[in-house]
Amino acid sequence: MLAAYVQYWKINLLTIAEYRADFFMWFAFTIVYHGTALAALAVTMLRFPSMNGWSLREMFFLYALWMTAHELHNALFFNVVSVPEYIREGRFDRFFVRPFDTLFQVLTVPSRTFPDGFILGLVTLAIATHVAGIHVTPFTVLTIAAVLCGGAGIDLGISLFVAALSFWLIRVDTLRWIVMSLEQDFTRYPISIYTRGVRIVLAYVLPFAFMNYFPATYFLGKHDAAFGLSPEVGLLTPLIGLLWTALSYAFWNLGLRHYQGTGS
Amino acid sequence: MPFAARAAGASAAKNACVPLIVTRDLRKVFRNAKRFPGALGALRGLFSPVYEDRVAVAGLSMEIERGEFIGYIGPNGAGKSTTIKMLTGILVPSAGEVEVAGIVPHRKRRENARNIGVVFGQRTQLYWDLPLVDSFELLRAIYGIPQDRYRRSLDAFIELLEMGDFLRTPVRQLSLGQRMRGDFAAAMLHEPPILYLDEPTIGLDVVAKEAIRTFVARVNREQGTTIILTTHDLADVERLCRRIVLIDHGRAIFDGPIERIKNEYGRERTLVVRFTETTSAPTIPGARLESVEGMTARFVFDRATQRVDRLVREVSDRYSVEDIAIEEPELEGIIRHIYTQGYAGEERSA
Ligand SMILES: Nc1ncnc2c1ncn2[C@@H]1O[C@H](COP(=O)(O)OP(=O)(O)OP(=O)(O)O)[C@@H](O)[C@H]1O
Ligand SMILES: [Mg+2]
């Protein structure tokens, strides 16, 4: 399995070399995308110097934390978004006739993926950590790494859940779109600014708040104004990522038994 | 490459006398929830689904021995692809049993996958954006094929399937015939003891078809690979298969050697007579005139009740004859007859 994974990355790199223009366009897009989001954040914060007790520097860190986890997910698990299409078109068949786990095979469909966004995220996060004045110890580095993995796990768990739904439903695009916009819109600000309903959703239903809000309160030593939880709750992120991934994977396996393919 | 080395795992070796592939009352019913549009509709479908059932395979029992080459045929929608998908572990049967080399495919999908190679003519298993060699490299890693064995088989495939010219072209730029050859190589790189071919010659020209026929015939003969071939080209079947399984509406209506189906239906023979002059409405007692075209007439007779020598004498006594030929029915004609009239083998042979 490792050999196959290595081969997959080898092929990815080779194809990127072939499609250089495409790659640079994507990279430019990633920079513009996150740059715009951060600029919008800065403009907002010029008008409100503090948002529910969060300064611009702290919000920068909040965003960088989400961005890096999300880009880690994109680098490793991006192919999951193609699953509904594979299923609808019957192209999923092939994953059944090869001697590996179907999900593993989905993740290793050569796709010109490169962890450029993740590297950009790491740089941004390093800057943001510095700007936010977080005292960095080896332990901080370790916990940040764990939180990033957990965040990517939450992302994976949720996208895998939506993908697995398509074993039963032909179209899940709308649902996927809703989930994606929720994630993009509601991870930019501290969740304490939202109404109670939204907060509950972000903490307990689609736990995007664990990708950045809760861990950020921990690293920044802030009081959680949303639920009044202790900052250490932020350290639960890896656990929640694992839980979501595990549950979605079980759901996925259930879906496999339901796979009907297409008629031709 | 001795056959023993490629045998289908320990469980198969243990039951050497058990058929390689067994199905018993195998059924597949597709149950599709009626779909409602949109996200809300999807939710509604989730909570109060309305189902439509469609029986694709309706109780199929068959046994296939190691090394056989089966022609699995039937009209469109008969359930051929569905059967293959159950044998490969893609679909979970609705009822009945299936075992391939001692493994229940949908239970031990990954183990089963090591024993099988699959070619779906309609849909490539190759990666669209990659050149063939890259797909092959990936498969080498997936199946853990040792480097030297990989090189050896790949070289053999390149030669047999004449793939040298397009190995480095991205799959999406390949012609259908080229792509199909790539698919064959991809399905066989790990030297599986069982090969499923679902319409592998669809849309190919005569040359490509011949290349592929020669190739699979050789694989079956030299490596003892068990092959199940689904096709609408009965020339493929006639050329390659010893046994055919004919299914219709999800049920096997004939299972046996090609000669038998020919014998059962081959009771009808055609006597083709070429006269020396134009003859309108010729008749021979005991034969039915099928057509007259110019100076050539075709008579159909029942081999079991009429003697050929008498018919020949009869016609040459009555008319001035230039040439006489007797045509055996082709598989194609027989199958067409069965598709349209239904199979009546049981009554006939009783
Ligand atoms: N995924 C599916 N969902 C619903 N019905 C299906 C599905 N796949 C096949 N069927 C139905 O099952 C029946 C058998 O289909 P199948 O594809 O096995 O036929 P086939 O013998 O391979 O036909 P063909 O020669 O046209 O390929 C058909 O009535 C088809 O409509
Ligand atoms: Mg078919």
What are the structural domain ranges in chain B? Answer: 2-262, 267-328
User: DSSP string spanning B293-330?
Assistant: ETTEEEEEEETTTS-HHHHHHHHHHHS-EEEEEEEPPP
Cα–Cα distance measured from residue B259 to residue A204, given in angstroms and rounded to the nearest whole number: 68
**Location of structure tokens 């079980």:** A250
pLDDT tier for residue B344 given thresholds of 50, 70 and 90: low
Tens of pLDDT, residue by residue over B70-114, are 999 999 999 999 999 999 999 999 999 999 999 999 999 999 999
Tokens standing for B245?
Answer: 């399984």
Burial of A242 (0-12, 13-18, 19+ CB in 10 A): middle
Query: What CATH number does domain B2-262 carry, 3.30.1330.10, 3.40.50.300, 1.20.120.1460, 3.40.50.720?
Result: 3.40.50.300
Residue B194 — φ and ψ, nearest 5°?
Answer: -130, 135
ipTM attached to this prediction: 0.86
Q: State the smallest CA–CA distance between residue A186 and chain B in angstroms.
A: 21
User: DSSP string spanning B49-117?
Assistant: --EEEEEEEEEEEEEE-TT-EEEEE-STTSSHHHHHHHHHTSS--SEEEEEETTB-TTTSHHHHHHHEE
Tens of pLDDT, residue by residue over B150-189, are 999 999 999 989 899 999 999 999 999 999 999 999 999 9
DSSP conformational letter for B249: T
Task: Judge whether residue B15 has pLDDT over 70.
Answer: no
Among B317, B315, B278, residue whose Cα is nearest residue B296: B278
Among B118, B80, B91, residue whose Cα is nearest residue B197: B118
Whole-model pTM: value is 0.85
Residue with the bigger pLDDT between A37 and B42: it is: A37
Tens of pLDDT, residue by residue over A183-237, are 998 999 999 999 999 999 999 999 999 999 999 999 999 988 888 888 899 999 9
Among B321, B24, B28, B167, residue whose Cα is nearest residue A260: B28
Q: State the smallest CA–CA distance between residue B336 and chain A in angstroms.
A: 22
Taking domain B267-328, whether its CATH number is 1.20.140 is answered by no
- What is chain A's Cα-based Rg? 19
The residue type of A158 is I
- Output the CA A27–ligand 2 centroid distance in Å: 43
Tokens standing for B296?
Answer: 């050539």
Tokens standing for A114?
Answer: 């490169």
Which positions ≥6 away from B324 have C-beta within 8 Å? B271, B272, B273, B274, B312, B315, B316
Tens of pLDDT, residue by residue over A111-146, are 888 899 999 999 999 999 999 999 999 999 999 999
DSSP conformational letter for B234: H
Q: For A261, which of B35, B38, B85 is closest by C-beta distance?
A: B85
Q: Are strands B21-33 and B268-275 parallel, antiparallel or unpaired?
A: unpaired
Are A169 and B42 within 8 A, CB to CB?
Answer: yes
Contact between residue A83 and residue A226 where contact means Cβ atoms under 8 Å apart: no
Q: Around B235, how many Cα atoms within 13 Å sit in the side-chain half-sphere?
A: 8
**Location of structure tokens 């080896």:** A138
- Output the CA B78–ligand 1 centroid distance in Å: 7
Q: What is the dihedral of CA A48, A49, A52, A58, to 10 degrees?
A: 130
Does residue B246 sit in helix, strand or coil? strand
Picking from A97, A169, A259, A262 by the largest number of B CB atoms within 10 A of its own CB, the best residue to mutate is A97
Chain B residue numbers touching A98 (CB-CB < 8 A): 113, 142
Q: For B90, which of A4, A14, A96 is closest by C-beta distance?
A: A96
